[in-house]
Amino acid sequence: MPIIQVNNLSKVFGKNTKAALQLAESGKTKEEILKETGSTVGVNRASFEVEAGEIFVIMGLSGSGKSTLVRLINRLIEPTTGDVFIEGENLAKMDKKELRRVRREKLSMVFQRFGLFPNRTILQNAEYGLEVQGVDKQERAEKAKKSLELVGLGGYLEQYPGQLSGGMQQRVGLARALANDPEVLLMDEAFSALDPLIRKDMQDELLDLQETMKKTILFITHDLDEALRIGDRIALMKDGNIVQIGTPEEILMNPANSYVEKFVEDVDRAKVLTANQIMKRPETINIDKHGPRVALERMREAGLSSIFVVDSKRTLQGIITADAANEARKNEVTNLSEIIQREVPTVEKDTQLHDLFAVIHDSPVPLAVTENGKLLGIIVRGAVIGALAGEGEVNVNA
């Protein structure tokens, strides 16, 4: 069961909500609706599901409704229509008391401008969520400390937010959100106020933390690079509508419409795509079973000038060229290990395209893509260029 399930969630700002919703349903644009009814459609019938442990990014430019959408989910903004299920409980239909309980136990939020209380120390800030729950003093201090240590701020307990840099303040924001041990983290442009280098550090750190925490994270951003970097899946928003939901590769390679296409046009694909996304299934021979004859046969069938050699566990052993195999057949060598080239250009499966150039440009043979020594696939030069052009054969399900 998905942990967050959003069904037909809409928000209209203004008085004439019914009329505005009807117009939105008939496909009118935000401006047309504003002109006709005087109401603004913030979010229009958004539906999506987020699985436990997933980082789901909602991405859009300012005014696209992404911040409204995240606030509809914890009901900081009241939805006009639609449902929000968190672990099967419908937030949109709850009374205040129930809502408070869910906010305390299941949802935590991290804010763009940090939202720290300037009159409270770092520790007191991190304690806030537990404090309003009525957790006793010692226990909440302990939990808050633990969570501050997790983000590397164990030594700043008695400082005030004003004394810390932006990056550190946002760590406090994150620690405060984690102290409650929530199921879901809502992060509203959490890193947008930080300068680029710190932002990248924080993204890495979030990904590291996520490895161990396995929280469900709903991350809002206007920065496509950030979305592609941290998102397991991305929902792209425009004018209150979700225009596409998909993995970073799907969005990059199969844009749903011209808007998304234009959006992803400038993305540096070399930094987004990884080796396993552009590799092909390799032709191989088994060192334990086959000899030069089979190698030559396979190369001819596939039209190759070399072939990769693996053992029965698919661990990469090396490569054999057609010339070497011909030579071996003439000299009646039957054991492949005598003619194998052990030195093969190899990359890990999550190597960025960006880092492939240097390896592939002077390599006479295709690159081997491995994971723990096992051969997963091969990359030829054409695949790299094709992927950069956005047209190559891409294995989106890898």
Partner 1 sequence: MLNFMENVESLPVADWVSEFVDLLTDTFAFLFDPIKEGLGNFMDMVTQGLDAIPPVIFIIVIAILAFFMTGKKFGLAIFSIVGLLFIWNQGLWSQLMDTFTLVLTASILCVIIGIPIGILMSKSRIAETIITPILDFMQTMPAFVYLIPAVAFFSIGVVPGIFASLIFATPPTVRFTNLGIRQVSDELVEAADAFGSTGPQKLFKVELPMAKYTIMAGINQTVMLALSMVVIASMIGAPGLGREVLSSLQRAQVGPGFVAGLSIVVLAIIIDRFTQNVYKDRSK
Q: Which residues bind partner 1 (CB under 8 A)?
A: 71, 74, 76, 100-104, 107-109, 111-119, 128-129, 131-133, 160, 162, 176, 180, 186
Residue closer to partner 1 by CB (options 90, 341) is 90
- The angle at the Cα of 202, spanning 188 to 102, to the nearest 5 degrees, equals 40
Partnered with residue 216 across adjacent β-strands are 184
Residue 335 and residue 337: Cα distance in Å, rounded? 6
3-state DSSP of 266-310: CCCHHHHCEHHHHCECCCEEECCCCCHHHHHHHHHHHCCCEEEEE
CB of 109 to partner 1, least distance (A): 4
Cβ pair 148, 122 in contact under 8 A? yes
DSSP state of 114: B
CB of 107 to partner 1, least distance (A): 7
Residues 6+ apart with CB under 8 A from 109: 70, 74, 115, 177, 185, 186, 187, 188
Residue closer to partner 1 by CB (options 114, 263) is 114
Residue closer to partner 1 by CB (options 187, 379) is 187
3-state DSSP of 223-245: CHHHHHHHCCEEEEEECCEEEEE
CB of 181 to partner 1, least distance (A): 13
CB of 78 to partner 1, least distance (A): 12
Cβ pair 144, 127 in contact under 8 A? yes
CB of 197 to partner 1, least distance (A): 24
CB of 170 to partner 1, least distance (A): 13
Residue closer to partner 1 by CB (options 102, 316) is 102
Residue closer to partner 1 by CB (options 13, 128) is 128
Residue closer to partner 1 by CB (options 133, 165) is 133
Residue 4 and residue 51: Cα distance in Å, rounded? 7
DSSP track, 122-183 = HHHHHHHHHHHHT--HHHHHHHHHHHHHHTT-GGGTTS-GGGS-HHHHHHHHHHHHHHT--S
CB of 395 to partner 1, least distance (A): 40
Instruction: Give the CA distances from residue 387 to residues 264, 265, 280, 364, in Å, rounded to whole numbers and listed in that order.
Output: 14, 13, 12, 20
Residue closer to partner 1 by CB (options 9, 33) is 9
Q: What are phi and psi of 313, to 5 degrees?
A: -95, 15
Partnered with residue 84 across adjacent β-strands are 6
Residue 76 and residue 358: Cα distance in Å, rounded? 50
CB of 67 to partner 1, least distance (A): 11
Residue closer to partner 1 by CB (options 91, 353) is 91
Task: Give which of 262, 259, 269 is closest to 386, Cα–Cα.
Answer: 269
CB of 132 to partner 1, least distance (A): 5
Residue closer to partner 1 by CB (options 33, 184) is 184
